[in-house]
Amino acid sequence: MSDNESEPVVSSDEEEAKQFHEFGLDDRLLKSIAKLGWAEPTIIQEKTIPLIRNGKDVLLRARTGSGKTGAFIIPVIQDILEHKDRNVDAPRQTRGLVLAPSRELCKQIYEVIIGLTSSCRKSVRVVDVSQQLVTDAHKPLLKDNPDIVVTTPGNALDQLKARNLNVKNLKTLIIDEADLVFSFGFEEQIKEVLTFLTSNHQSVLASATLSEDVLTLKKLVLRNPAILKLEEAPIAPSTQLKQYVLNAEENDKAAILYSLLKLSLVRGKTIIFVNTVDRCYKLKLFLEQFGIKSCVLNSELPAVSRCRAVSQFNNGTYEIIIASDEKSLDEPHKIKEKKSKRKKDKESGVARGIDFQFVSNVLNFDFPPDINSYIHRAGRTARGTNEGFVINFIAIREQPLLEEVKDHLKDYYKQENVFEKYEFDLKEADGFRYRSRDAWKAVTRIAVREARLKEIKAEVLNCEKLKSYFQDNPRDLESLKQDKALHTVKLQPHLKDVPSYIVPPSLRTLAGFSTKGKRKFDRTKEARTSAKTKFQSREGNPLAKKRKH
């Protein structure tokens, strides 16, 4: 950190990781940690927990999936338990304030805290007030001064101004995904929030990168901090994460995606990234024609819908989620934004921070616009001890972007090229190309618009705040239910099945076809297990490796 050489920089070393009980944690907290299945602290937790427990301001940087949330939350919970043991009769105080730039992240952090307080729920109360409601709607939740409050900077400021949130006894301020705070337009809110805090609190900034915005925020929030910077690659090592390049022009990308999914060459939970919201819906409608279910995630969806999509993906309702990055989030001042009449939620982030669980594959259908976006997308998989795969669909115009990422990553991995070529000859699957070409053309702009309207209508029908309105105005509810889309993509049932004659001979066994051309369907558990084992051990399929979940 060149801006202040006197600040101590803590880096990782080769010491064996400590056990959680060696941090002197309360037995109730240790019990909760054990319930979560955390066998031992990650490197970032091992280094951070003692620093925060000693009252030090901390700036910690580690890649996504390294355990940052546990690193800064465990000391806060421990402080609360110790404070209550010392002051048995004292009234409840808000001692921890956690700020995150998006409501999805707030919900994720809240759920981690709920897990870490499962054995001390009566002693540690946490609330998430990040949802965009009328300010006074959160007043009952904040009335008895919950021990930990999780919210966005904007909502925190609203609650402070309304005097719903009492921070006079605040011990720890935490700002997660600090490099996104300015990108989401929260600079002024953070400055105002700080005016409500006393001078004797400690602060923690957590970030996946150390951008210029983080350095600015560091000067604003931290006092003589310890800087914890892990010397590691920005994404998982090549032994854990395989990255592939698949050359494909725009007209062929959809056909290849259809082939990969229908031939089971890509298995497990999969995130497909595109660069615009319209592409989200176009791809979803395209896959629907072949009976492939997916859900979408983008910044134009209401927060409730976004959280629902993430939950449905995590719990296995959907194996595929299609997510959009409209712009680079790390250096927004360098991006020329297109004017749009569509209202986007600035408290939404897709590629950053959200805890997509057990993701096996990331498919960059559209290659990301810059290096940081690529790193954050790739960081969605190969988390913890799980293996993961990234397949990049590269058109000629996207080749320069790929070269930039190659140059950046080779310094970390100490090898010239971390990308392997994904062998796929579309000429062998012309039948897939013919089918996909018609299906792709069928998804017109009007069909995309209708799909977006359908999402909005579903949200209106499920909105809790409108229930009383619809009770008083039943005709409006009936009209909304009867409203039919005028232009939809016609679904043809026969497209759900894959006839044997369009499957390349070399892939027929892998895709479940017999040599005589008939699709084999054995629904028994034993048969499925046997087929899965054969698939995972088959040579020639780069994704056919056993994954640890």
- Token readout for 464 is 């809790």
> Could you tell me which CATH number the domain at 20-80+90-229 has?
3.40.50.300
HSE (side-chain half, CA atoms, 13 Å) at 456:
12
Q: Considering Cα of 26, then 31, then 33, then 39, what sign does the dihedral take?
A: positive
In this structure, are residues 428 and 504 in contact, taking their beta carbons and an 8 Å threshold? Answer: yes
Please report the pLDDT score of residue 545 as a whole number.
46
Instruction: Report the run of H or E that residue 207 belongs to, with start and end.
Output: strand 202-207
How is the chain split into domains, by residue range?
20-80+90-229, 241-327+351-443+489-495
C-alpha 85 chain-centroid distance: 37
Query: How far is CA 522 from each of CA 259, 374, 513, rounded to the nearest angstrom?
Result: 22, 40, 11
Please report the pLDDT score of residue 425 as a whole number.
80
Please report the pLDDT score of residue 458 as a whole number.
74
**Cα distance between residue 309 and residue 303, in whole Å:** 10
Please report the pLDDT score of residue 512 as a whole number.
64
In this structure, are residues 144 and 92 in contact, taking their beta carbons and an 8 Å threshold? Answer: yes
Please report the pLDDT score of residue 111 as a whole number.
93
**Cα distance between residue 535 and residue 549, in whole Å:** 17
φ and ψ at 363, to 5 degrees?
-110, 115
List own/partner pairs for 191-194 with CB under 8 A and 24 or more apart. 191/220, 192/157, 192/160, 193/99, 193/153, 193/156, 193/157, 193/160, 194/220, 194/221
Three-state secondary structure string covering 57-87: CEEEECCCCCCHHHHHHHHHHHHHHHHHHHC
Closest CA to 389 of 362, 371, 367, 365: 362
**Cα distance between residue 49 and residue 86, in whole Å:** 21
Instruction: Report the run of H or E that residue 52 belongs to, with start and end.
Output: helix 43-53
Three-state secondary structure string covering 264-278: CCCCCCEEEEECCHH
The three-state secondary structure class of 113 is helix
Contacts of 302 (CB under 8 A, 6+ apart): 345, 459
φ and ψ at 364, to 5 degrees?
-85, 85
Nearest-5° Cα angle at 35, 32 to 39: 100
In this structure, are residues 96 and 80 in contact, taking their beta carbons and an 8 Å threshold? Answer: yes
In this structure, are residues 148 and 98 in contact, taking their beta carbons and an 8 Å threshold? Answer: yes
Query: How far is CA 479 from each of CA 440, 456, 457, 468, 529, rounded to the nearest angstrom?
Result: 32, 15, 11, 16, 49
Three-state secondary structure string covering 322-383: EEECCCCCCCHHHCCCCCCCCCCCCCCCCCCCCCCCCCCEEEECCCCCCHHHHHHHHCCCCC
**Cα distance between residue 410 and residue 386, in whole Å:** 22
pLDDT (tens, 9 = 90+) of the chain, 549 residues, equals 334 444 555 554 445 457 999 999 999 999 999 999 999 998 899 999 999 999 999 999 877 667 889 999 999 999 999 999 999 988 999 999 999 988 888 988 999 999 999 999 999 999 999 986 666 788 899 999 999 999 999 999 999 999 999 999 999 999 998 877 876 788 899 999 999 999 899 999 998 777 788 888 999 999 999 998 876 667 788 888 999 999 999 889 999 999 999 988 999 999 999 999 999 999 999 999 999 999 999 888 877 778 788 888 988 899 999 999 754 333 333 333 444 455 555 554 444 556 688 899 999 999 999 888 898 899 889 876 688 999 999 999 999 999 999 998 887 777 778 899 998 887 777 888 888 998 999 999 988 888 888 877 777 777 766 677 777 778 777 765 666 655 567 777 778 888 777 887 777 766 666 555 444 444 444 444 444 444 444 444 555 444 444
Please report the pLDDT score of residue 232 as a whole number.
65
φ and ψ at 389, to 5 degrees?
-135, 140
Amino acid found at 124? V
List own/partner pairs for 441-449 with CB under 8 A and 24 or more apart. 442/289, 442/489, 442/490, 443/282, 443/285, 443/286, 443/489, 444/487, 445/278, 446/487, 447/285, 447/487, 447/488, 447/489, 448/278, 448/281, 448/282, 448/285, 449/487
Whole-number CA gyration radius for the chain: 25
Topology classification of domain 241-327+351-443+489-495? Rossmann fold (3.40.50)
Instruction: Specify which residues 96 forms β-bridges with.
Output: 148, 172
Please report the pLDDT score of residue 9 as a whole number.
54
Whole-model pTM: value is 0.64
Q: Are 20-80+90-229 and 241-327+351-443+489-495 in the same CATH fold?
A: yes
Contacts of 12 (CB under 8 A, 6+ apart): 43, 47, 230, 231, 232
For 456, other C-beta atoms within 10 Å of its C-beta total 13
**Cα distance between residue 173 and residue 94, in whole Å:** 11
Q: Considering Cα of 273, then 275, then 280, then 286, what sign does the dihedral take?
A: negative
